[in-house]
Structure 1
Amino acid sequence: MVAAQFGSASVHDPTKPVHAGPEDGWHGVVAPRSRFAPDSGRYHLYIGYFCPFAHRVNLVRYLKGLDSAIDISVVKAYPKGENGWPGWAFPGANGPDDTYEGSTPDKLFGSKYLHEVYFRTDKDYKGKYSVPALWDTKENTLVNNESLEMLRWMQRGFDEILPERSPERKLTLYPEHLQAKIDEVGEWLTRDLNSGVYKAGFAKDQAAYEKGVIPVFAALNQLEQLIHKNGGPYVLGKAITELDVLAYATAIRFDVVYVQHFKCNLGTIRGNYPVIHEWLKNLYWNVWGFSETTNFKHIKENYTKSHHDINPLAITPLGPYPDVEEGVNLDFSSIKPGVIAHPAVLEQQKNLPAV
């Protein structure tokens, strides 16, 4: 589930109730000396490897060294059911032969479907049964199912259970001196790239599709320039930030899914954006947590076998091959930035803040 917009105010609002009722999601925060205090083994995370929003929370879980402190249950990549019901399933939902590589049972309750977990907290819940979702085994309740909120507070919420001088404890993806820039870039990155691929992909007519796809490539053009200006290897230079997590979860899906399935084919990352391509390869091959949380089978089969109005025969393309190319060039100054020079894209790009 996605927060409405990116920015410090919307990502964490301490006045917001944990769960305001059946129409609302969950907004709890793990923090020392709070209702949801940090503790190893207390919390359980429900994810799908296919979902970019669950992906970014799982990435923070790895980057912060919480992969052993917070266990996960992984839903199958498909099917989701008609009109979202019964929703994401765990293996075994349809009998002992119902298996799917990389998925897991519901390790807490043995549920067949994720909605059963949601109904344990609110039997009248009317929202989406989405991933990610964090469960508290002590209070027996959902804590949070908003990925942008978890992305922010998970960076610090568990620090006191981490070794005092460990790099994981010291790591923050939202350092004070970069917060203004992270908020500025995160706003258009979330709106135009993370959400933009869905606006293009789920468009019901030509006009809506074109309105959705143009900002996607304006954002990619801008991201290409931003990484190049800052010299890499991360979006803002030498320090990894939330922007790398936000951008990676969409970029790693771009060539393998969004280009063909969502018709985002004005260009590809590997063919048209050499700076983003090197940034992406470096994260995947060289930074712990990125390849470990990326499952291309789940990603490709979820989209191609769940969206029957877009892909009615549910055929999953074999390419592109390989999923991620090898070899990384970290001399970003030697790379000439790429650009999709479609007139509408360039015009749209003028509306974005300067890099």
Structure 2
Amino acid sequence: MAEEFKRAPNHFQGRPLADGSSPWPVEAGRYRLVVSRACPWASRAIIVRRLLGLEDAISMAVVDPIQDERSWRFTLDPGDRDPVLGIRFLAEAYQAAEPGYDGGVSVPALVDVPSGKLVSNDYPQLTLDFSTEWTAHHREGAPELYPEHLRAEIDAVNEVVFRDINNGVYAIGFTRDQAAYDRRFNRLFDRLDELSQRLESRRYLVGDTITEADIRLFVTLVRFDAVYHGHFKCNLLKLTEMPVLWAYTRDLFQTPGFGDTVDFDHIKRHYYVVHDNINPSGIVPAGPDLSGWATPHGREELGGRPFGDGTPPA
């Protein structure tokens, strides 16, 4: 039995590039972003798209949080079909790109509307490209989420956050080995403690504005008490019991573009119903109490400018 949970690599890595060197042009209306509001990897793309104002350039489809044997499905739409792509299952776009493909079907997925083919499920690169390749379609006042002079530091923070936190909660939740669980559990809370110390005197992870690093950490923290604490056995502390990280996450949640993209109903139903090997009863817990997300966080005292020289999304 495998000791460690291994995340499969992203098989489709097409990239629309602004310089025309890719077979996929950067073109408004050409692509459709398929997401699940339950999925933290997809939530990154939802937030970045909204902050940059790419809604008119890249349309978005939201799948049902409950998958069946064919994975993500468009049962939230009339006729159980995506109205733009005309398909019932995201797997159809994967098959259009690679006939006979039998690997995993994941979100976020960028689909070429004219051909119906999947372009990319490479979630780490997708949001960086939204910031760097789609600048001609950013809204006026769009923030710099991946500023060039901070990229090395952002990349370094992202690497650690992915390994020990974003992916770490999954490594804990899906392991079947006690020693592996103990090791990843300790690493997760050691890293959360380090980030608490980092954020105690600074409002954001890198620089004095919101960057890609904050978005990547936020999508895990916002799900922590609702699913990871109990469902994935990450139960040393709740987020609400970590004062700095709880205030930091509330600060982001109350920032336009963050909390208004979060759907706790989708999040809880997906994890507790789909992961029947972890939760065989399929019962979705009633808690936690969500009222605390609207309470004052006091992080403004640390300074910082959420959008830098830009403005909030409408």
Measured against the shorter chain, the TM-score band is 0.7 to 0.9
Q: How far, CA to CA, are the matches of 1:151 and 1:218 in structure 2? A: 27
Aligned to 2:217: 247
Is the CA contact 1:46–1:133 (under 8 Å) kept in the aligned structure 2? Answer: yes
Note the C-alpha offset of 1:299. Answer: 0.3
Question: Which residues of 2 match residues 116-135 of structure 1 at below 5 A?
Answer: 116-135=92-111
Aligned to 1:90: 74
Q: How far, CA to CA, are the matches of 1:65 and 1:288 in structure 2? A: 12
- Structure 1, 254-263 or 70-79: larger mean CA deviation: 70-79
Amino acid at match of 2:285: P
Is the CA contact 1:73–1:105 (under 8 Å) kept in the aligned structure 2? Answer: no
Q: 1:62 aligns with which of 50, 59, 67?
A: 50
Amino acid at match of 2:250: K
Aligned to 2:12: 26
Q: Secondary structure at the match of 1:292?
A: helix
Amino acid at match of 2:149: H
Q: Within the alignment, does 1:256 sit opposite 2:226 as a pair?
A: yes
Aligned to 2:24: 36
Q: How far, CA to CA, are the matches of 1:75 and 1:50 in structure 2? A: 9
Q: Secondary structure at the match of 1:56?
A: helix
Q: 1:201 aligns with which of 173, 179, 187?
A: 173
- Structure 1, 236-245 or 247-256: larger mean CA deviation: 236-245
Q: Within the alignment, does 1:161 sit opposite 2:133 as a pair?
A: no
Q: 2:270 aligns with which of 299, 302, 319?
A: 302
Identity %: 35
Q: Secondary structure at the match of 1:44?
A: strand
Amino acid at match of 2:150: L
Note the C-alpha offset of 1:311. Answer: 0.6
- Structure 1, 112-121 or 30-39: larger mean CA deviation: 30-39
Note the C-alpha offset of 1:332. Answer: 5.8
Q: How far, CA to CA, are the matches of 1:36 and 1:111 in structure 2? A: 21
Aligned to 2:244: 275
Q: How far, CA to CA, are the matches of 1:33 and 1:190 in structure 2? A: 29
Q: Secondary structure at the match of 2:25?
A: coil
Q: How far, CA to CA, are the matches of 2:8 and 2:172 in structure 1? A: 19
Note the C-alpha offset of 1:295. Answer: 0.6
Aligned to 2:38: 50
Deviation digits for residues 237-296 of structure 1 (CA, Å, limit 9, x no counterpart): 42111110110110000011100100100001111x2111111111111x2211122110
Q: Within the alignment, does 1:328 sit opposite 2:300 as a pair?
A: no
Is the CA contact 2:65–2:267 (under 8 Å) kept in the aligned structure 1? Answer: yes
Q: Secondary structure at the match of 2:261?
A: coil
Q: Secondary structure at the match of 2:50?
A: helix
Note the C-alpha offset of 1:322. Answer: 1.4
Aligned to 1:288: 256
Amino acid at match of 2:261: T
Deviation digits for residues 37-82 of structure 1 (CA, Å, limit 9, x no counterpart): 222211101111111001101111111101222111111111333x
Note the C-alpha offset of 1:123. Answer: 1.3
Q: Secondary structure at the match of 1:124?
A: coil
Note the C-alpha offset of 1:87. Answer: 1.2
Note the C-alpha offset of 1:205. Answer: 3.1
Amino acid at match of 2:14: G
Q: 1:143 aligns with which of 119, 122, 131?
A: 119
Deviation digits for residues 135-193 of structure 1 (CA, Å, limit 9, x no counterpart): 12245432211100102111022111345xx221xx33222222222122111110000
Q: Where in structure 1 are there 5+ consecutive unaligned residues?
A: 5-23, 97-103, 334-355
Give the structure, 1 or 2, with the largest relative contact order (CA under 8 Å, sep 6 or more). 2
Is the CA contact 1:275–1:332 (under 8 Å) kept in the aligned structure 2? Answer: no
Q: How far, CA to CA, are the matches of 2:137 and 2:230 in structure 1? A: 44
Q: Secondary structure at the match of 2:265?
A: helix
Is the CA contact 1:50–1:298 (under 8 Å) kept in the aligned structure 2? Answer: yes
Q: Residue 146 and residue 224 in structure 1: after superposition, are their counterparts in 2 closer, same or farther (change >3 A)?
A: same
Q: Secondary structure at the match of 2:189?
A: helix
Deviation digits for residues 278-324 of structure 1 (CA, Å, limit 9, x no counterpart): 11111111x22111221101100100001111111111111110162
Is the CA contact 1:79–1:305 (under 8 Å) kept in the aligned structure 2? Answer: no
Q: How far, CA to CA, are the matches of 2:186 and 2:216 in structure 1? A: 19
Q: Residue 289 and residue 25 in structure 1: after superposition, are their counterparts in 2 closer, same or farther (change >3 A)?
A: same
Note the C-alpha offset of 1:328. Answer: 2.1
Q: Secondary structure at the match of 1:45?
A: strand
Is the CA contact 2:11–2:122 (under 8 Å) kept in the aligned structure 1? Answer: yes
Q: How far, CA to CA, are the matches of 1:147 and 1:245 in structure 2? A: 13
Q: 2:205 aligns with which of 203, 217, 235?
A: 235
